[in-house]
Chains A and B, each alone.
Chain A
Amino acid sequence: MTGLNIGVLAVQGDVMENLSATRLAMDDLGVEGVVTEVKSPDQISELDGLVIPGGESTVIGTLSLVNGSLKKIKEKIASGMPVLGTCAGMILLSKKAKDRIVGDMEQPLLDYLDIRIERNAFGRQKDSFEADISLEKIGIPKFRGVFIRAPSVSEAGRDVEILSKIDGKIVAVKQGNIVGTSFHPELTSDLSVHKYFITMAQKGKR
């Protein structure tokens, strides 16, 4: 197969929205390939790129651990597969997560992206917000950020590039082949972030 094989981790959360945003981004860029829901280690091993959607990070982590997907994703990231994690997806990619109220979490994580996460950093659902943010470093000067019980990055390692901040809090990062966002680009009609991810996957494939 010559086209890209992109997967959306379909354990729990807003899988469909990421599926359609990725599909539309590929169409817009004129990139050939398929976007499918993936759940099992076998499906994941075939991928050129993976999107980990929003949802509850504890649930996605626990259930991906159960069927061996977590281990497979980690192997694939190590071998250079590009990954986009939105909200819960970024939490899963991180090394350590802490809840703003409850404290240190023992939840299963991919332990790859060198950041520490503060879960629910902006508060509960009532404090969820929309705001314009900027990701200049990856060529997106303006983007409508949809933050839902969003996490923030409380510490970032040396190799982590900070892509965006709001009110002093880090809300988007990049480390090599990994992009993580606190917000949900899949809930807006702006495809810029997903397009950036597809471009990464294309370079990886070449």
Chain B
Amino acid sequence: MIPLSGDIGNAKGIIRENLGTVETRRGTTTLKRGFAHMLKNGVVMDVTTVEQAQIAEDAGAVAVMVLDKLPADVRKAGGVARTASIRIIEEIMDSTTIPVMAKCRIGHVYEAQVLDATGVDMIDESEVLTPADEFHHIWKWDFTTPFVNGARNLGEALRRIEEGAAMIRTKGEPGTGNVAEAVIHIKNVNTELRRIKSVYDAGDEQDLISLARELKVSYGLVEETASLGRLPVVNFAAGGISTPADAAYLMTLGCDGIFVGSGIFKSDDAKERAQAVVLATTFWEDPLKVKEAQKMVDERQSMLGLDTKNLELRMQERGSTA
């Protein structure tokens, strides 16, 4: 049984139809959140080509995320970053057996419709692409395909869940090869979860209401989340993960799994690194195994990375006030 906190019940994205003589429902919260649960303890890898998707699948990725450019190249190229070419997404869908995800711009309802019609397994409404709506995210309850959203803190995470996100990931600072921001974000979420839980456990309703106002989230969702003591959806780490030890470190902070963006395919030992990050994520509790994984990669081949303090573009701030 999985938590269904925040479920609005009769969402537009739910489709009732018959399979033979049997009545079925698609797009329910159990199916959307359940899909994310199947990814737990796994690694989702950013890919731009069929070849990269194949390397990812062979290395043991639980899913691939198709982009037009890796986040590090988006950062370098500047300009407007949009959803990937549908033809490439379809080629990858036809050649891999693991789930295929793709990104749409924040608030861009029609890029999401196109991805939904393409049949990708999950849509990432992502700050890596240039936001299309400064004030609203997509109302994700209208879709049959599940969504994942980025968050830097508990308020953002719960607001995205309230809009229908079936999975959350930390934003980190994409395309930097630097995990520092992802670490801050996961710790923010954990600290705030402990805070609402302690208020809930103390039975202080008045204080919980003011916390809900502070987080800009409905009281009901805050209360249910506080009673669970964790987010009601699966929560992955993302942004700047480059090495097996990075992945293992984030798992120790209580993440359910890992997204790797530029870290693998911007390195010069992508194949070994892909396998090594998977190993370290699976066996993160065993330092000897993580050491073995770390030994599979060569630090001289890692992407150079950026200091996150002096960036012109901070992708993580996109969509954070909405």
Contact = CB atoms under 8 A, between A and B. Distances in A.
B60 interface: yes
A80 interface: no
B2 A187 contact: yes
Contact of A168 (B20, B37, B121, B144): B20
Interface string B23-47: 1111110110011011111100000
Interface range on chain B: under 10, 10 to 19, 20 to 34, or 35 or more?
35 or more
Interface in A127-149: 127-133, 146, 148-149
Given A55-B40, A59-B62, A125-B99, A11 B19 contact: no
Contacts of B35: 125, 128, 148-149
A128 B26 contact: yes
Nearest to B144: A126
Contact of A120 (B22, B97, B145, B283): B97
B227 interface: no
B97 A130 contact: no
A154 interface: no
Contacts of B22: 131-133, 166-167
A15 to B, nearest CB: 7
A82 to B, nearest CB: 22
B277 interface: no
B24 A129 contact: yes
B241 to A, nearest CB: 17
A56 B42 CA distance: 9
B245 interface: no
B20 A129 contact: no
B98 A131 contact: no
Please give me the 4 A-B residue pairs with the lowest Cβ-Cβ distance, nearest first. Answer: A167-B20, A125-B121, A129-B24, A14-B37
